Amino acid sequence: MSVRVLSFAAGMDDAASILAEGGLLLFPTETVYGIGARWDRADAVSAVYLAKGRPADKPLQVLVGSAAAARFMAAAQAPAFERLASAFWPGALTIVVPAAPGLPREVLAADGTVGLRCPNHAGLRALLQVSGPLAASSANRSTEPPATNCADAVAALGDYAQLALDSGPCVGGVPSTVVRLVGDELTVLRAGALDEARLREVADHG
């Protein structure tokens, strides 16, 4: 496989350059390893779908370095959004909300929503501050389980990425919980690392 593997600390600058040039990156989060590309590079986002064999109607999530960056991408911040972001970000929660005008269609669902997550991985957030948001998914083929270490991520998708950042095994191993917010109404789209009852409690009451 042609993909280079570097430690997270050693590969930060190379990763930012590769992403800016439209390349694909394998990287750790606190839950599983991911594959991602600059969210505003349509060709690179399409390459993520190709690498994973992911259906085109299944949108990627957008990873951001801060809650402030997420607010820029959301059409409006309902009180439930603010409560969830304050309680669970950085963390294993993806919040699907109506997207702000002007976001690339490649990161939007058919209904105009976007899935946003601020990961609880300090190195990745530092990279996101430099590279900008990433359109991302777990580092596996769509029919396979997610990778929880760099070697498995490389084995699955190393033929498609230009660089893999290795920070050891993921401590979580369970993908993020995905919720959809329409106003303050919460729907769980994918069970994951967070407790649904606690999410609903926070969304409703803070």
Question: Structural domains in the chain?
Answer: 4-205 (3.90.870.10)
Of 26-35, 70-79, 125-134, give the lowest mean pLDDT range: 70-79
The fraction of the chain above a pLDDT of 70, given in percent, is 99
Sign of CA dihedral 62, 99, 174, 82: positive
Contacts of 172 (CB under 8 A, 6+ apart): 29, 30, 31, 32, 92, 193
How do residues 60-75 score in pLDDT, each as one tens digit? 999 999 999 999 999 9
- pTM comes to 0.95
pLDDT of residue 1: 54
User: What's the whole-number mean pLDDT along residues 5-29?
Assistant: 97
pLDDT of residue 161: 98
Q: Which residue has tokens 């191993």?
A: 173
Q: Which phi and psi angles does 56 have, rounded to 5°?
A: -65, -20
How do residues 67-98 score in pLDDT, each as one tens digit? 999 999 999 878 999 999 999 999 999 999 99
Mean pLDDT, the chain, integer: 94
Look at residue 136 and tell me whether its pLDDT is greater than 70: yes
How do residues 152-168 score in pLDDT, each as one tens digit? 999 999 999 999 999 99
DSSP class per residue in 24-77: -EEEE-SSSEEEEEETT-HHHHHHHHHHHT--TTSPPEEE-SSHHHHHHHBS--
Look at residue 114 and tell me whether its pLDDT is greater than 70: yes
Contacts of 178 (CB under 8 A, 6+ apart): 61, 94, 96, 115, 188, 189, 190, 192
- Extract the tokens encoding 196: 């649904």
Look at residue 5 and tell me whether its pLDDT is greater than 90: yes
Look at residue 171 and tell me whether its pLDDT is greater than 90: no
Look at residue 15 and tell me whether its pLDDT is greater than 80: yes
pLDDT of residue 206: 63
